[in-house]
Amino acid sequence: MEIPVDWLDVPVDEVPFVYFDVETTGLNPRYGDRICEVAALRCMGGEELGRYHTLVDPRRPISPGAYRVNRITAQDLDGAPLFGDIAEDLLDALSDGVMVAHNAPFDLGFLAAELAPLGHPMIQTPVVDTLALVRRLYFFPSNSLSNVARSLGLDTGRLHRALSDVLLTRGVMEAIIADKLPYGASTLGDILEAQGGAVPVPRVHHVPLPPAIQEALAHGRDLYIRYVSASGEQTERIVRPVRVSGGPDYLYLEAYCHMREASRVFRLDRILEMGTLGRSED
């Protein structure tokens, strides 16, 4: 991303930093993992200006590995909003600021993957990655957020939940600024140079989807489809869409199939008919 020159020259204490973190069902959005919790904290000059935090119903189970980290259960997510229901509020919370995250490409990749099926463009903003900063500025035995915080003398508190990690990332960033500013860094441009340059914001190509799929994804509705297999067999199914993925040749609908009681993948060009069912789950 090309950062506007006027951003680069802003003194650090006048930069609106938006600390950002997500908890997820697994490690890779390309394999269908999704956001299950998100938090954003806006600060400037050491003062908190606002925060946003919510659990998110991912419409898929949390993997055992993810649960061991974040301890989020299906019961915790009962009644939580879908990502489509919180997308605009989250984008408002992230707008007009410099995003800060620890291992920012991970969080940004999940955010981009969630926004694309909804037709929302990925937010374009300067990004500070505290992981990149500590790798270049310090020699800690481990650069995990918890270890970095302890090495900088911070109380880690509860770890691996979105809001607590956002608060800890803020503490790490402010400790880095306090430690390194006396050595010459004074602007956002200096911070970005210290981390090795701009963090690329993922650009997920948005493919226009049939309105029925967009509505089902955004509002958690079931979808009726009439599908023809590679052998020519036609079946009628009720599915719960999870996401649309694929490459340059074909797009695939990943969904939970009520008929098979399992996750299935359907090639979009083989769906002969579709329509949403029921009301939004508010």
Burial class (CB in 10 A: 0-12, 13-18, 19+), 125: middle
How many CB atoms neighbour CB 96 within 10 A?
10
DSSP E strand stretches across 56-117 = 98-101
Catalytic residue among 160, 205, 206, 219: 160
DSSP 115: H
Q: How far is CA 77 from CA 23, 68, 71, 216, in A?
A: 12, 16, 11, 19
Is residue 219 part of the annotated active site? The answer reads no
Whether 221 and 280 have beta carbons less than 8 Å apart is answered as yes
Structure tokens at 220: 């958690």
The whole-angstrom separation of Cα 31 and Cα 9 is 40
The whole-angstrom separation of Cα 90 and Cα 69 is 23
* CB within 8 Å of 203: residues ≥ 6 apart: 112, 122
Q: How far is CA 102 from CA 21, 22, 49, 134, 270, in A?
A: 8, 11, 20, 10, 41
Q: In DSSP terms, which residues pair with 266 in a beta bridge?
A: 253
At position 70, the amino acid (one-letter code) is: N
Which residue stretches of 207-274 are H helix?
A: 211-219
Radius of gyration of the chain from its Cα atoms, rounded to whole angstroms: 21
Catalytic residue ranges: 160
